Amino acid sequence: MHAALEVATACGAAQLIVAVPVAPRDLAGSMPGADTLVVLRSPRDFASVGAHYEDFSQVDEDTVGRLLRDAPAAHH
């Protein structure tokens, strides 16, 4: 996330909003580099992101590449 924020800043993003479904409580207050941080759940017993999902299996690079190629182009 930190690397993505740095790249977005370097590309001239006007505002950086980070939104995550779950995060540890110590992150819930701020994310350096983000203008806004939205955290839907910040459980007291947070151990890992994957523990809060029914299926948090890894996605291989070929699948990611295919999904990015097949995604509609962003409109500006």
DSSP of 2-69? HHHHHHHHHTT-S--EEEEEE--TTTTT--TT-SEEEEEE--TT---SGGG-S------HHHHHHHHH
Q: Measured between alpha carbons, how far is 43 from 26 in angstroms, rounded to an integer?
A: 11
Q: What is the pLDDT of residue 1?
A: 86
Q: What is the pLDDT of residue 32?
A: 86
Domain ranges of the chain: 1-56
Dump pLDDT digits (tens) for 21-73.
998 888 766 788 899 999 999 888 888 989 989 999 999 999 999 998 998 87
CATH 3.40.50.2020: does it fit domain 1-56?
A: yes
Ramachandran bin of 30, using left for φ above 0, alpha for ψ from -120 to 50, beta for the remaining angles: beta
pTM of the full structure: 0.65
